[in-house]
Structure 1
Amino acid sequence: MEEENWVPDEPVYGLLVDLWGKAGNVEKAWRWYQAMLGAGVLPNVPTFNSLLSTFLRVNKISEASELLQNMLALGLRPSLQTYTLLLSCCTDGRSKLDMGFCGQLMARTGHPAHMFLLKMPSAGPDGQNVRSHANSFLDLMHSEDRESKRGLVDAVVDFLHKSGLKEEAGSVWEVAAQKNVFPDALREKSRSYWLINLHVMSEGTAVTALSRTLAWFRKQMLVSGCGPARIDIVTGWGRRSRVTGTSMVKQAVEELLNVFGSPFFTESGNSGCFVGCGEALNRWLVQSYVERMHLL
């Protein structure tokens, strides 16, 4: 760029920071960020989020703290994505010290999502108090784009689940489902043939979503007397996927289904999809423990 006398602008600098960060090259991402500041170009919030994500992925918590401080000093307001990144880091903290540090950063953002978590009530007998709390917060966030809301809800449910607040996690999920935050999580492919899609979720959110969705099927069966003919549970890596390795979501889902003796199985050539069908599925769905699977 210098040889051609090109002067990078904010989008170009931001793209370079983002690309090197996603490539795992922290040093080059940081270097381009510094070059951006040196050129007198003000980073925007997405660029800050990109570099913040880069630091958090490699557990550079102190650098993330300094970056957040710089962001605030420049008068930029942390976004919903900023808070989501920090909450996910807190959930995956390698130590209580890391979790505490991330918690401090979350508070420093001043984002309403932090007060939502801090004021989360303990679930009452029917969970309605948590659902009301979640409903009010999501109403407050109505102007945010769907992807940002999806990311936050995924992080919140995952955090609650892994913190042992599984009743609260289930109630938050139910509200998010009602508000269509995860529009592809459940759909009817054809008459009585349903698809539960978990592949865009964290493992804590996936098992919560699956548990509450299966409980919903049970409730519908008890009311109508009719059950689904088939349910497919997609955990991410299907027949056409070129990804290899083990999916954390698949492992978590498989463990949950096995613990409760479910009739779901994987079809040949598609290990990422669990299939349940026929009378065996319906006999299992009406069992009382299906209503409480999310508490495991």
Structure 2
Amino acid sequence: MMTGTLQLALAFSADLLHHHHHRRPLFLPWCALSKKGHRFFTSLAAAAGDSAAANRLIRKFVASSSKSDALNALSHLISSNTTHFHLSSLVLPMYRRIAETPWFNWNPKLVASVIAYLDKQGQPEEAEALISESVQKLGFQERDVALFYCDLIDSYSKQRSRIGVFESYARLKQLFSDSSSSLSRRAYETIICSLCSVDLPRDAENMVEEMTISGFKPSAFEFRSLVSGYGRLGLFTDMRRVLRKMEDAGYCLDTICSNMVLSSFGAHSELSEMASWLRKMKDSNISFSIRTYNSVMNSCPTITSLLKDLKFVPLSMEDLKGRLQKDETLLVEQLIGSSVLMDALKWCPSEGKLDLHGMHLATAYLIMLQWVQVLRSRFSAGNWVIPTEFRVICGSGKHSSVRGESPVKALVKQMMVRMKSPMKIDRNNVGCFVGRGKAVRDWLCCIHYDL
């Protein structure tokens, strides 16, 4: 291991800390490919082995595409989760073509992502050439070059390349001989997070200790990185030890950290541990979030299995609980007592709106069951104003694995049809179900089976 050699001797300019808190975004949020993007990749696959034809396709696609479509296609190619490995030789030509467009603004995060991908795909010479080109473009400015190397470390960690992380860190370490606090903190943050991402949490923890010796107090970010790193590997004793150190350092356990813990337990099917942690969150007044729901619900095997066929999912909370295992039931009961539904539900005289954005399929399913229960309860009480209209917003599938095919929308549609709901897809917004307030009330009050 290189743990003992990872000593920081770096320098940032005085304004770097401010710069760090206003980091440039990576080009665009990841979105599902458009139909045009799918056709483009299909054409590239058909042109395999014909570089001239592939370059013509790339030139035509970039020239006729919007900035978002072109960059999104590139992001799909270089993603660590890409399924287009057979097109790896076309990443650099596509990046070069995009860089020639009039709308392109050089972005260190984007080029770092391309470099890490090229190196991971066995194109080290191309990657090295792009590194040299980038350093020259930055004019050898210490701060900018250092930040670029930090971006490079981060990109290599996303590709899960340990060698890339260490080599990029070595470049950063050799950049300067003097030390400046803002540079050193940024460098520590980057390497600690990246070491955890490549499953080296013990090395990362050693870096935290070195960071402390160097005079920097570790932030909640470093502790969370360690929690995630140990938890992902199932090293729960170490994860709990870090949580105690985090509290001893003066940081309270919050929703973000708790969600990391839940995700770790869920990844290793420790459902009883998840239930215990949810109780701890409630006892400590740590609020639940949509991500809390996502982490828990995605870990329930029975629910995941039920959602494979939407035509037969239970339509009532009681029916659902009757099909769950004991630990799964405990998890669901802990969740439904939280405020997540109320946070997603807006109620006023003009509109009753439920927003399912950010919810994974299993979460949206449970929230829909809760929503029906809450609405029936309010209508039965008789002291709630009936909104003019009800809306359930589920999205049109822009961020789904297949663009335009939203699993949540498909779920809501099936539930509405099977429950004979008056709510229909909005003509003006295909990602939304809408119904008149009184019609929805009459439907829920007269429904013939137990929900």
TM-score, normalised relative to structure 2: 0.42
CA deviation map 1:158-201 (0-9, x unaligned) = 32343856644543333331xxx57751112x405211000111
Contact 1:265/1:276 (CA < 8 Å) preserved in 2?
Answer: yes
Counterparts of 1:81 and 1:231 in 2: how far apart (Å)? 44
Tell me the equivalent position of 1:79: 224
2:412 to 253, 276, 281: 253
Correspondence 1:208 to 2:366: yes
Cα distance, 1:233 vs. partner?
A: 0.6
- Show structure 2 runs of 5+ residues with no match: 1-133, 174-183, 210-221, 244-257, 306-323
Cα distance, 1:235 vs. partner?
A: 0.8
Letter in 2 for 1:48: C
Contact 1:206/1:249 (CA < 8 Å) preserved in 2?
Answer: yes
CA deviation map 1:1-55 (0-9, x unaligned) = 644333468755444445677xxx7278973564125534654279727983xxx
Letter in 1 for 2:337: V
- Greater relative CO (CA pairs within 8 A, separation 6+): 2
Counterparts of 2:381 and 2:171 in 1: how far apart (Å)? 66
Specify whether residues 182 and 248 from structure 1 end up closer, same or farther in structure 2 by C-alpha distance, changes over 3 A only: same
Q: How does 1:157-168 map to 2 (within 5 A)?
A: 157-160=297-300, 161-162=303-304, 164=324, 167-168=329-330
Counterparts of 1:256 and 1:44 in 2: how far apart (Å)? 46
- Show structure 1 runs of 5+ residues with no match: 53-63, 88-101, 122-129, 292-296
Provide the identity percentage: 18
Counterparts of 2:146 and 2:342 in 1: how far apart (Å)? 34
Tell me the equivalent position of 1:35: 168
Specify whether residues 266 and 228 from structure 1 end up closer, same or farther in structure 2 by C-alpha distance, changes over 3 A only: same
Tell me the equivalent position of 1:118: 272
Look up the SS of the partner of 1:39 in the other structure: helix
Correspondence 1:109 to 2:253: no
Q: How does 1:228-243 map to 2 (within 5 A)?
A: 228-237=387-396
Of the two, which has the highest radius of gyration?
Answer: 2
CA deviation map 1:58-102 (0-9, x unaligned) = xxxxxx4x334433443486528964x999xxxxxxxxxxxxxx5
Q: How does 1:132-281 map to 2 (within 5 A)?
A: 134=278, 136-138=280-282, 140=284, 142=286, 149-160=289-300, 161-162=303-304, 164=324, 167-177=329-339, 184-188=343-347, 190-191=348-349, 193-224=351-382, 227-237=386-396, 244-281=403-440
Contact 2:354/2:392 (CA < 8 Å) preserved in 1?
Answer: yes
Contact 2:153/2:190 (CA < 8 Å) preserved in 1?
Answer: no
Counterparts of 1:233 and 1:152 in 2: how far apart (Å)? 21
CA deviation map 1:126-158 (0-9, x unaligned) = xxxx9xx7354145374xxx8x95433432233
Counterparts of 1:191 and 1:140 in 2: how far apart (Å)? 35
Work out the number of aligned pairs and report it: 240
